[in-house]
Structure 1
Amino acid sequence: MKILLEIQVLRSPWIIQTFYRLFHQCRKTFAPLNLTDYEAIGRCEQEVPEYFNFASDVLDKWSQIEKERKEPSNPALWWINGKGGERKWSFEELGFESRKVANVLSGPCGLQRGDRIIVILPRIPEWWLLNTACMRTGVVFIPGTTQLTAKDICYRLLASKAKCIVTIDALAPVVDSVASQCQFLKTKLIVSESRRAEWLNFSDLLKAAPAVHNCVKTRSQDPMTIYFTSGTTGFPKMVEHSYGSFGLGFFICGRYWMNLTPSDVVWSMSDTGWIKAAIGNVFGPWFQGTCAFVHAMPQFDPKVILNVRTPSVWESGICSFLSSDISNTLKHCLSGGEPVNPEVMEQWKNQTGLNIYEGYGQTEIGLICGNMKGMKIKPGSLGKAAPPYDVQIIDEKGSVLPPGEEGDIAIKIDAKRPFTFFTRYVDDPVKTASTIRGNFYITGDRGSMDEDGYIWFMGRSDDVIISSGYRIGPFEVESALIEHPAVVESAVVSSPDPIRGEVVKAFVVLSPSFTTQDRKKLACELQDHVKKVTAPYKYPRKIEFVEQLPKTITGKIRRSELRNKEWGQI
């Protein structure tokens, strides 16, 4: 396949969070499977089947089509590591390997249907195999970013009651440091060429595993995966999705927003710990028979194939590095995670002749709205509602607001909850119920809608910080800060940033014994401390030392006052 484009981007790898790099070799009119039925289901025009399993009902059917028609011609998964390593698997080969992994899970790992497994792997093929193998066995797949610390991993193991964890050499000692505290953890599986005491070796077990495995028959509402997502209070919530909401729910996204066909190749640069990886490099492309391209990139390469990424990367000056023949090969560009600056969109359009199609969604319900291929783009807008959602802007009483007025972005629920919704916040029925206001699901975001139905994002209605596409809860950062002896209390809010949209800022009240210390050095010390205690992307990039924090009469910190102070400085 032709490499489309070379550019140079000097940014740290975590900024390259999402979304999709999409490039086509050619366009073919090819309609395998009964995609019409899946589209009707996705639009809620047809009933969700009682039984559905993405591995057997989609992947295995593409495998059959490969053998019968020799199409699609591209592999199902194409992985490179930037160091000469490369793997290409057809749908048939993906099925063969994933069945062996399914036998590893149900055999040596001792996992049964309904058990939970935490998978913390970088962008390596084993992540895709384990994801698919969990579908085949009915094991609940729980991905995690490799930036998780010992505290993060311990919390996730305890909260999820996971019986197995899979990770790499670098994180194995971290897991070992907390494993004794996690009474539900029974099996540790390492993806490594080396051997480690008390760990099963993935490669060894895979070689010995039989290739015959019968996929379990799963109901559409059976639990399939759990994602941890940050909130404003407490630790991250567990968002549970079913085989229907996850497997069937992303058909519309891949068909219309990503605009995929079997002859395409798509590149999603999301970290494997986030739902965007599932949308962009699993369900979105594979439903359409599209090749999922994966570049491991342990460190961001100065020369990469460019298509789509988060706004913080668009805004890093990449347009000046574009090849002049891009329009001959690059067909579709997408972005998500945070709004793209209209000036950047215009610069990209002038340079390439291509639009950036923004999308907006969340872990709980997937794609909410987007700019679909062929739709008129209004720079700064997130597009129109995506099927099957009826998106409205409502007030605090649940009344629909007229065009142009700011309110809560919500999704109308008619007779029943859309099947594309998450099933619940695990072990938190109160939080699950709190997402509903009258006949609406509340996204937690603020925005407005114009007379043409385009959605305009205004910001979060709670205290969650979205920086370069990462959701960061203030509680997690404040909890990390308070563990440092210099901190009496702190308040964390968002602060404007020209590249990341917003960043984490901490207002810190110091202990008397630290007030005379050098503030600059102390700020660096606190930042390093947070990086060690929790995932590094959460650390406060700005720290301001204050005598006291604004509070309500009941003693609650008034973060809104601090946030307004920050954003009032723009």
Structure 2
Amino acid sequence: MACITSMILSKASAFRALWPLRLSSSRSFSKWQLALAAQNFSGYESIQAQYKPEVPEYFNFAKDVVDSWAEAEKEGNRPTSPALWWVNDQGDQVKWSFVELSHVSKKAARVLSEQCGLQRGDRVIVILPRIPEWWLLNVACMRTGTVLIPGTTQLTAKDILHRVQTSKARCIITDQVLAPAVDTIASKCPSLEFKLIVSRNHREDWLNFSDLLKLAPAKHDCAVTKSCDPMAIYFTSGTTGTPKMTEHSHASHGLGLGVNGRYWLDLTPSDIIWNTSDTGWAKSAWSSVFAPWIQGACVFVHSMPRFEPTPVLEALSRFPITTFCSAPTAYRMLIHHSLSSYKFHSLKHCVSAGEPMNPEIMEQWKTKTGLDIYEGYGQTETVLVCGTFKGMKIKPGSMGKPSPAYDTQIIDENCNMLPPGKEGDIAIRIKPTRPFCLFTRYTDDPERTNSTVRGDFYITGDRGMQDEDGYFWFVGRADDVINSAGYRIGPFEVESALIEHPAVVESAVVSSPDSIRGEVVKAFVVLAPDYISRDPEALIKELQDHVKKVTAPYKYPRKVEFVPHLPKTISGKIRRNELRKAEWGKA
């Protein structure tokens, strides 16, 4: 259940703020924001023509977006749907309008600035589950100019220690579940001065955020922040090594994610979006905070601690959710769970990101729901890089076309742009002008930051190719691509072929040493329950033959190993580098 503070402040519609709101001085952004929300587009070309963001010298999302939409609500210029709509399995609900969010976040900002003495630029780690306070503290940190560092609730004490020590955070905010873990490592963190707990219960040596919030006044002067000032630091998921601290400015997400909200998510102030991403990752910033609220849309939140098909399908059926955003793994779980028996009366737009979407999943979802899945590609370091937008032809398996936020190209090692059909590095042009919606740096790590630059380009670390129609196709992380007897093979192609076989629940494809070919394709496969008792040699042959029929025969896995599970990061991404290192360690 949500903390009692949320329930009291949001009970039904009784709470309404009647105080005057100060409008942002950067009215140029407010006008652009409202114009963007109202834009209509008919296809990819119109998107490219319409996208003309304005980046003022000074910008603060709390003041220039949240408070602007609050003012629009007061003037009757926004639909009556809430800004945040939170539910849980027990039937509790919290609904905050932008007016209410503006009011309560000012109180929260007073707690951070007065009770904790936090100042502009101080770093604050927030590790909370899907409760309203997480969204509240996002806005409060922006109001105070402190730098938010979100963390997933799956972090261990060791993970938290690494994050606090690496970031030099002054404050950590969490709940009663993770507070004991924080206490075990706090003495090893000299920078850590304040611990706030979001809970009905008190804990020794912790400030109780809920109590302080009730007592805090609702008047707060928003910090004056430049568009280029640091706003948040996101730890990457660590698919290729130690998680990096990826720094974003007030503009890069607060303004830059407008391209996600309007063109990929297709949001307007009348829409209600549900993004199932965990609060610890940049994907929540994408689709649960900035993109929806730039558009004035409602963010729907279900408090479920983990993704479960039944409550997800029931919520999509019960609530007027118009836009659904989830990972390919989630869609895969849903299509195998009586999907056809549910009716989604309000749902009109589905998107996916985080990892490549297998074409067969898209086809099954379309067959069972009548809805397409629009793919998006980006990174913790970026906003949307490529996507399939409304009005575009969907090519299953493709990432879509470059978003208007960037000049995205496929290049070789000498920074030459490659023709259609040629595999290369997915890169974003950063010279002569670096896009405002690209990350600022890897915090306190100039060497890693500089390593991403090659000539005039930021190198994403991903490999891909572009077809004759301008669609981009993902091949794999640069380290994941397999070079076997002169053939370059992307793991995604082989994994997509394998998942079409009913025996395969999921798979991971990596290179394995071979005395003749140098390296060959090896597939680690998690089997469906009905196939576990099958003869392994016969099943391996069956899977190999299947891949040869589905894709080019040279790509088939010459080695197959059945495993009970695959190694994954905290965010759920497969750690292929771990499997690859184990394979080559045997050589």
Given that 1:55 and 1:135 are in contact with CA atoms closer than 8 Å, whether structure 2 keeps it comes out as yes
Give aligned pairs, total: 470
Q: Which runs of 5+ in 2 are unaligned?
A: 1-28, 38-46, 317-323, 482-497, 514-563
Task: Give 1:297's aligned amino acid.
Answer: M
Taking structure 1 as reference, are residues 328 and 564 closer, same or farther at Cα in structure 2, changes over 3 Å only? farther
Matched, 1:401 2:401: no
Is structure 2 residue 384 aligned with structure 1 residue 367? yes
What is the correspondence of 1:299-378 to structure 2 with a 5 Å cutoff? 299-301=306-308, 302-304=310-312, 305-306=315-316, 307-316=324-333, 318=335, 321-322=338-339, 326=343, 328-378=345-395
Task: Name the counterpart of 2:508.
Answer: 502
Instruction: Find out whether 1:57 has 2:64 as its counterpart.
Output: yes
SS in 1 for 2:427: strand
| Structure 1 residue 79: Cα displacement | 0.3
**Are 1:334 and 1:357, in contact at CA under 8 Å, matched by a contact in 2?**
yes
Give deviations 1:511-555, integer Å, cap 9, x for gaps.
xxxxxxxxxxxxxxxx99x99xx95958989999xxxxxxxxxxx
Q: Give the gaps of 5 or more residues in structure 1.
A: 1-30, 465-495, 508-526, 545-557, 566-570
Shift of residue 122, structure 1, vs aligned partner: 0.4
2:129 is matched with which residue: 100, 122, 126? 122
Distance 1:193 1:352 in 2: 42
Aligned residue identity for 1:35: Q
Relative to structure 1, the CA distance from residue 33 to residue 296 in structure 2 (aligned partners, 3 Å threshold; closer, same or farther) is: farther
Given that 1:327 and 1:353 are in contact with CA atoms closer than 8 Å, whether structure 2 keeps it comes out as no
TM-aligned CA deviation for residue 326 of structure 1: 4.0
SS at match of 1:130: helix
- Give 1:505 deviation, angstroms: 12
d(CA) in 2 for partners of 1:357, 1:536: 21
Q: Is the 8 A contact 2:237 2:570 kept in 1?
A: no
- Distance between the aligned counterparts of 1:35 and 1:542, measured in 2? 42
Contact 1:42 1:249 in 2 (8 A): no
Aligned partners of 1:538 and 1:262: how far apart in 2?
Answer: 32
Measure how far apart 1:394 and its partner are. 1.1
Structure 1 residues 85 and 320: CA distance shift in structure 2, 3 A: closer
Q: Residue 32 of structure 2 is aligned with which of 31, 34, 41?
A: 34
Partner of 1:170, secondary structure, is coil
Task: Specify the alignment match of 1:392 in structure 2.
Answer: 409
Choose 307-316 or 72-81, whichever is displaced more: 307-316
Q: Paired residue for 2:444?
A: 427
Q: 1:59-138 alignment to 2 at 5 Å? A: 59-69=66-76, 71-138=78-145
**Mapping for residues 122-521 of structure 1, pairs under 5 Å:** 122-231=129-238, 235-301=242-308, 302-304=310-312, 305-306=315-316, 307-316=324-333, 318=335, 321-322=338-339, 326=343, 328-462=345-479, 498-500=504-506, 502=508
Please give the alpha-carbon distance, in whole angstroms, between the structure 2 residues aligned to 1:272 and 1:35.
25
- Computed over aligned residues only, the root mean square deviation of the Cα atoms, in angstroms, reads 3.3
8 Å CA contact 1:149–1:535 kept in 2: the answer is no
- The aligned amino acid for 1:338 is E
State whether residues 53 and 218 of structure 1, in contact with CA within 8 Å, keep that contact through their aligned partners in structure 2: yes
Q: Deviations over 1:366-398 (max 9, x none)?
A: 210000011100011010000121211111121
**C-alpha distance in structure 1 between counterparts of 2:403 and 2:145, whole Å:** 29
Work out whether residues 192 and 203 of structure 1, in 8 Å CA contact, stay in contact via their aligned partners in 2.
Answer: yes
Q: Name the SS for the 1:253 alignment partner.
A: helix
Q: Is the 8 A contact 1:333 1:354 kept in 2?
A: yes
| TM superposition shift of 1:443 | 0.5
Task: Return the offset for 1:155.
Answer: 0.7
1:52-76 superposed Cα distances (whole Å, 9 cap, x missing partner): 1111111101101111116221000
Summarize the Cα distance change of 1:113–1:362 in structure 2 as closer, same or farther, 3 Å threshold: same
Report if aligned partners of 2:237, 2:571 keep a CA contact under 8 Å in 1: no
Q: CA deviation at 1:34?
A: 3.2
Residue 502 of structure 1: how far off its partner (Å): 3.3
Identical-pair percentage:
59
Q: What amino acid does structure 1 have at the position aligned with 2:453?
A: I
Letter in 1 for 2:362: M
Rounded to whole Å, the distance in 2 between the matches of 1:115 and 1:43 is 37
Preserved contact between residue 79 and residue 295 of structure 1 (Cα < 8 Å): yes
Measure, in 2, the Cα distance between the counterparts of 1:250 and 1:262. 16
Quote the offset at 1:313 in angstroms.
2.2
Distance in 2, matches of 1:32 and 1:130, equals 23
Q: CA deviation at 1:342?
A: 1.2
Q: CA deviation at 1:236?
A: 1.6
Q: TM-score, normalised by structure 1?
A: 0.76
Equivalent residues of 1:503, 1:540 under 8 A apart: no
Q: Which residue of 1 aligns with 2:490?
A: none
> Do 1:221 and 1:242's aligned partners in 2 also have CA atoms closer than 8 Å?
yes
Counterpart residue identity of residue 52, structure 1: F
